[in-house]
Chain A
């Protein structure tokens, strides 16, 4: 179906759009040199995504070990020290090394293509950002070998991924694990801020002719909002980590409670980063769904202006909700009430989004490719994740649910059920553009159904031990609370997910080597990236495209009924 759907005469992207054949096959050394020194936004995007997927496997293995330990009550397969390291590393890895890198990778790859630009605004800053991010991951995992300090303490941080002070201070965290952890997040934070600056500059100054702000694809809009949020949220995290490092090395007392410092200050610093961070991760996931759902429903997105407004609204509201992570620290009722209200208000723009996705599918002709399956499941799962979020926003009930497996289930519903599902959706959707090969659909369906079963088995059932009072962060538990059976079912679900991941990895490799050629526009889509060959040449567009509507390729494919008549 691939080439026949492209309605453009002649070679794609204009007459000189076809990349010329390279006669000499580069050696491995040359290829390595090319990737290391590249400033091409597509190569950097791919490196971000590849880097994230690699850490996804690492973090996944950590999760499997955690589930194995919790399979039986009073289990001693893993010691408490190692268990604490595992969940700390799992959390830090998944949020910073997986979530952030993959979403920035997608933004890097897609934003310039979608707005008809040849690269990001600052290509060298882009490369710098990626390598800083990469360095962050290395620092974090180097703590496994370099963290041992005094008395053999250390070897990987073991104080949860938000490292509540004073547990990270010298008195309670000897050795160098907290140092590597702080350093990793500082370094990666600089990389992330660089990427955000770049995305903002690119969307504001690199758009092609006719690409007004309100003709930008929603993916670009959402990444613009995310970039703005990164600037306001990563900065406090970086500041807090620097303060912690000052405490540890220069005798500062910001969080050092023994010397009158304020642990509460760390709570605030961390969560003013930590909660918007959830939206920093989930908005790019929405962004992917915003492209995939219309294409496979064969309809324009329903309520484009409302979707933009809702995204910007989420961006603003999300920086006022952080203390809903702190309902139990003993705030006054008025403060608690404020954060109840602000948190529940986030439900309004997200509700608008869910309704708009359903309305986009309504009356459409839905093609359930693997990509669309993931996006469809995402909509329902995000609905449920949002509703458990509403439950957690109810402060008095939160006092019971906070710090239990209910919370763990809730945020994994967001992180896996929404973000990871959208990332998979995006990979099935754009893999053909990135590599020129289609991902195998049969393997894709296996991947989807196995992962769906595993996901629901793990994370639906994980709510229950939480409701029954099982706290998180415990390496083992006493029998007789009714928690055993749920932990076992959850563990089995994790195995399903692991198998699905193996299928996926196999699919990535198999399709790259033996997949069918995708052609420039395999999905019959409407945004500018499909106007280039697959994979696009280094310069993306031989001539600068000119657009007249939100769906430039629809206009070309349907000259009798173009979008610009209606916008």
Chain B
């Protein structure tokens, strides 16, 4: 699950999940739900694959979201379904979606970038929590 938290100029994403794989997938969902009104309007017609190496879980999450945001802005691709496998030194992820269709998609926020401010990924009890502030 995810929720948005208050930040004066920008938007905070808070994600809770039982494991890291689900946390990363849910974070991507939260990002695109901020970009498009009604994520269910985005059909999973095409797939992109993402591989990122790194051992720092904060930066892995950052780089995963950053890559998806780039694909959106450069390739006009909306994404709505995500599968991620996070291991010790890398991330392998897939995302499904379709190109923007102004007739069916209502876009709401232009996310300029993912920021490092307040970025955290932590295990709390038997759950994982992540917080990311994105620049609007």
Q: Do A and B come from one complex?
A: no
Interface of B toward A, CB cutoff 8 Å:
none
Interface of A toward B, CB cutoff 8 Å:
none
